[in-house]
Amino acid sequence: MRMRKLGGTGIQVSEIGLGCEHLQWKDEGLIRDVIHAALDGGVNILDVFMSEREVRSNIGKALKGRRNQVILQGHLGSCWLDGQHRRSNDPALTVENFEDFMTRLGTDYVDLALLHHVDTDENLDAMVNGGPLEYGLKLKKAGAIRFIGMSSHNPAVALRAVEEGVVDMLMFSINPAFDLLGDHSKSGQLVPGSEGTGDIHAERKKLYETCEARGVGITVMKAFGSGMLLGEKTSPLGKAMTVNQLIRYALNRPAVASVLVGMQTVREVEEALAYESAADEACDYADVLSGALTGTAEGRCMYCNHCLPCPAMLDIAQINKYLDLALLGSGATDTLKDHYLSLAHHAGECLGCGSCETLCPFGVSIVERMQTARDLFGK
């Protein structure tokens, strides 16, 4: 496994890391197998943003006796309340949930503690001027946190945090679709790409270059767009890319130290780790990206559940996943319907309140999609 320095932190991280979000709701044995396969393959950095208690406990069990092999990335403000995940700036909730994180992960220190899911200036202000950053800095002083970071999908807000010196490192969503097509910042300005691969949004380019210049290392999330970019039908680029190409693309951005792949089976671990021995030609993405500006990444669900909490207790990510499988795959098959119907709550229960849409970083029309899912699956 090739290692990279995470900017000014000086920490050496494996260029392929493990994003644990897809391990939620998986059983203890599978979680252990995936984590052990990743660690045995040389992975040394794990992101655990989930606030759900059982997955935290199971990851903690998998790391028993191996904590010192891992750079642990946890989140301040990733909270569990009333049976659902929510991001929060509330000081008391932040403390309760971070203490729970450390207890369940079986550790008395966290290497990288990230202000969680900061996509607006208001949230950044609340994190910085309220409890979460203050609490994080207190733990840093006490040695329980090594470095403060931030997770964000918004280049303008992330850039502000970097330029104001709030963070030591950053977790950011990077893939060719977001860089070339997605414009969450609404800047709308494109600048020429440096690799003959089309244009990249100016604000995202500036973010990566500023991070590089200031020694703020980046860990990458959503490198495959939650699998969307791996399929010709699902990719807004209009072409399928491979795991190798997408890992290489993200690693080629300035300041990037590690791509945190959301592996959920041992097979997916092996597939991601195969990048380390892949031939250069197998990772080259220039041909795939040339002339690929055909769609938009905006509005595509990444199945991240950052839109929770939902007053109707809907698992919005899972409903969107089943809907995409039906719309982009082979329709609403009986098997797919069975899976959908086994959910505790269904799209037909949506109240249309719209609170989810204000939280979604990817501009998904959730209310409309819930109606589509209700009509398609009949509930």
Question: Can you give the binding site for ligand SF4, defined by CB under 6 A?
Answer: 301-307, 310-312, 314, 316-317, 320, 350-356, 360, 362, 364, 366-367, 370
Which residue, 26 or 214, has its beta carbon nearer to ligand SF4? 26
Q: Looking at 115-219, list the stretches that DSSP marks H as alpha helix, in order from N- to C-terminal side.
A: 121-129, 131-142, 155-163, 176-180, 202-214
Contact by Cβ (8 Å): 177, 237? yes
Burial class (CB in 10 A: 0-12, 13-18, 19+), 358: exposed
Contact by Cβ (8 Å): 239, 292? yes
Alpha-carbon gap, residue 320 to 327, rounded angstroms: 10
Measure Cα distances from 239 to 190, 231, 232 in Å.
21, 7, 5
Q: How far is the CB of 23 from ligand SF4 (least distance, A)?
A: 16
Q: Which two tokens stand for residue 220?
A: 């990458």
Which residue, 293 or 367, has its beta carbon nearer to ligand SF4? 367
Residue 296 CA to its chain's centroid (Å): 19
Q: How far is the CB of 299 from ligand SF4 (least distance, A)?
A: 9
Q: Which two tokens stand for residue 276?
A: 């380390």
Alpha-carbon gap, residue 14 to 3, rounded angstroms: 4
Which residue, 114 or 364, has its beta carbon nearer to ligand SF4? 364
Q: How far is the CB of 124 from ligand SF4 (least distance, A)?
A: 18
Q: How far is the CB of 220 from ligand SF4 (least distance, A)?
A: 17
Angle, helix 53-62 to helix 91-105, in steps of 10 degrees: 30
Which residue, 56 or 306, has its beta carbon nearer to ligand SF4? 306
Q: How far is the CB of 349 from ligand SF4 (least distance, A)?
A: 7
Q: How far is the CB of 296 from ligand SF4 (least distance, A)?
A: 14
Which residue, 301 or 336, has its beta carbon nearer to ligand SF4? 301
Q: Is the peptide bond before 91 cis (omega within 30 degrees of 0)?
A: no
Alpha-carbon dihedral of residues 68, 69, 73, 79, nearest 10 degrees? Answer: -60
Q: How far is the CB of 371 from ligand SF4 (least distance, A)?
A: 10
Closest CA to 320 of 262, 364, 263, 378: 364
Which residue, 204 or 300, has its beta carbon nearer to ligand SF4? 300
Which residue, 275 or 303, has its beta carbon nearer to ligand SF4? 303
Which residue, 237 or 308, has its beta carbon nearer to ligand SF4? 308
Alpha-carbon gap, residue 153 to 221, rounded angstroms: 9
Q: How far is the CB of 345 from ligand SF4 (least distance, A)?
A: 9
DSSP type of residue 169: E
